[in-house]
Structure 1
């Protein structure tokens, strides 16, 4: 792996993102159709310097903030949302380290990131009552600390250099234990078979007596008690991905109507692009997409404006703003990826075009957490001044 470039400004980051997007877009449809791993694309993405843009300035990073990260993520997601999703937990770990890591952990792991090391997280498990249930254990045995458990939805772990394992320790407290990708007793199975986001490698991680350096264990429960933006940061990333999927579906719809669609026989028109019903639908798609992008960008700017002066009231305001962005990005992506076929016509469903990947990706990724609960949170805040709960989904 080559040393990454240090991107000092937002302009640098957006230029790098445009280059990465162009590189990954070229083979995105084929990779999706064949479930081809995106190893080369992830290498280029991380070597671009984009995976280090949120490292704090006090640790030598550019600290470009959430608005830049959201724009970068949207650009990459439009090109290939699987590639865009893979570093989601990498950026989440940067936030966790900033808030909960001790000095030694911050110095070591931020240095690793600036050297180009990739991080991922294995948190979610199947079989518990809710998504928050964790059965993976970090136990002390004969003076050694070892991990045992089974994870799923472990997006991107196969591409990582370091993996943060969410577990319960001997006191039943939640901790994040960082282990090298090739640790003894660690098995990563690329068994993700979802019909969308096929390239995210969101499969199984098995842990069998995996030894952990005691200095690489980080308690982090307090970050969801104190006023922080960890949950909002995680959600704004997801919203940016959905906005990117919607943008690409919109672009493909416009291109198809302009170049391939035929006007309906009763329209009396020479071009499908002049059909009033097509125009109305394209306009509707654009309005929804523009609203979603504006909401994502506005919420991210609000996060940046208050990164250093947070209190509970601001956290609630920010969480609601991000929830609004998540609703709009989810619904606009699903709308655009569906209406793409309505405005394009029957020819657009041919398998060789693989345009259905946009809908499959949007439908899969937007299931990360239910939008219905976003409406509930927003309504309860507006009507009853009830602050949202603090967790990773708000």
Structure 2
């Protein structure tokens, strides 16, 4: 069991949480063991996703009456951080699934909740196909048209289809009768074509490529009403902030995983340098200082994240009951942006700094230590941090609330 898991275990008294850790910690350890190998081969890990599903990861937030673990946000997110330490690609690949679970939890429609929670508890995974290349929020070339025989057909092309290659269901945004609506289609439906063509230098295995829909039959029951779900870009809510927390959990996990890997590297290393302060790196005070600084940064990233999630949990509880105010949601957005600044900067700095403990061997491909920096750098691009400090300052000085939604292609 990792030090993080041991620390969390000391705080756990709830049996479902303990049982979940007993099931999932070996899964996380197995995923971490082969992460570097998968990166080198660019091999999507369907087996890892299936193992996570079988161990209950994808249903940790699903209520117990449906067969899920029923964990609270603060109970659930340490699992996300630990998966991020093992392989951040899988956190991002399952991001759409995680966000969909939260949307189902917040939906008052009992039939909708029953339908989706039964699917998720049965092990079905959700991906997404929302963004179009060079698209603008609210403008979609992807459409659903009603045919003379009454069938509904989906046509279009999406990019950044995160996790869809692992998924059973794909959430799509499309124009339906003149308005942008959210809908769900089976990933294996005739006419659905998925391509692993994501070309980023990091998060290569997050299955974030192209999805093409060619005359895909859509069940009208799987289409949201106007203004609901993915198509709602006006009403204040916590969904956008929640989407950011998944990236922050992955970053906190990445710097934690890098800390562990570099500690292991130093313990095993025997070769030193002529100017070193000790005969072996594990006794070199300068090397040990670097590891201490990296560890402190990782601890700080996790502490900031845990504080944010506690605030999130309080606001979300009031949002579900309809008592939350716009001011509370704005403050949560700002807190998320503040956490983003700290966690992204600390993670990148610490991972980069960690390479100081080694020589040329630290940058060899078989070790694959570069994946920590590459993946952290790519995750820190979601979403551009340069705009967030201005928003924080405007909120503090002028009380200006962040926009309720944000997206690619336009100013909200």
TM-score when normalising by structure 2: 0.86
- Secondary structure at 2:381 match in 1: helix
Q: Which moved more, 1:68-77 or 1:267-276?
A: 267-276
Alignment of 1:259-270 (within 5 A): 259-260=268-269, 262-270=271-279
The verdict on how the C-alpha distance between 1:307 and 1:62 changes in structure 2, with shifts beyond 3 A counting, is: farther
The verdict on how the C-alpha distance between 1:11 and 1:327 changes in structure 2, with shifts beyond 3 A counting, is: farther
Residue number among 339, 343, 347 corresponding to 1:333 in the alignment: 347
* 1:78 correspondence with 2:95: no
Unaligned stretches of 5+ residues in structure 1: 1-6
CA contact (8 A) 2:173 2:231 kept: no
Q: How many equivalent pairs are there? A: 386
Residue number among 372, 375, 378 corresponding to 2:392 in the alignment: 378
- Residue 367 of structure 2 is matched in structure 1 by 353
- Secondary structure at 2:317 match in 1: coil
Residue number among 177, 186, 189 corresponding to 1:180 in the alignment: 186
- Residues of 1 paired with 2:113 and 2:105: CA distance? 7
- Secondary structure at 1:307 match in 2: helix
The verdict on how the C-alpha distance between 1:378 and 1:79 changes in structure 2, with shifts beyond 3 A counting, is: same
- Residue 154 of structure 1 is matched in structure 2 by 161
TM-score when normalising by structure 1: 0.90
- Residues of 1 paired with 2:89 and 2:173: CA distance? 23
CA contact (8 A) 1:99 1:223 kept: no
Q: Report the Cα offset of residue 56 of structure 1.
A: 4.2
- Residues of 2 paired with 1:341 and 1:105: CA distance? 49
- Residues of 1 paired with 2:64 and 2:240: CA distance? 22
Residue number among 114, 118, 134 corresponding to 2:121 in the alignment: 114
Q: Report the Cα offset of residue 324 of structure 1.
A: 2.1
Q: Report the Cα offset of residue 275 of structure 1.
A: 4.3
- Residues of 2 paired with 1:348 and 1:329: CA distance? 24
- Residue 209 of structure 2 is matched in structure 1 by 203
Alignment of 1:48-127 (within 5 A): 48-56=55-63, 61-100=68-107, 102-127=109-134
- Residues of 1 paired with 2:39 and 2:31: CA distance? 12
Residue number among 402, 408, 411 corresponding to 1:388 in the alignment: 402
- Residue 15 of structure 1 is matched in structure 2 by 22
The verdict on how the C-alpha distance between 1:101 and 1:170 changes in structure 2, with shifts beyond 3 A counting, is: farther
Q: Report the Cα offset of residue 134 of structure 1.
A: 3.3
- Residues of 2 paired with 1:222 and 1:134: CA distance? 11
Unaligned stretches of 5+ residues in structure 2: 1-13, 319-323
CA contact (8 A) 1:70 1:296 kept: no
CA contact (8 A) 1:240 1:329 kept: no
CA contact (8 A) 1:136 1:150 kept: yes
Residue number among 276, 292, 302 corresponding to 1:293 in the alignment: 302
CA contact (8 A) 2:182 2:231 kept: no
CA contact (8 A) 1:105 1:216 kept: no
| Pairwise CA RMSD | 2.4
Alignment of 1:226-245 (within 5 A): 226-245=235-254
CA contact (8 A) 1:74 1:240 kept: yes
The verdict on how the C-alpha distance between 1:268 and 1:32 changes in structure 2, with shifts beyond 3 A counting, is: closer
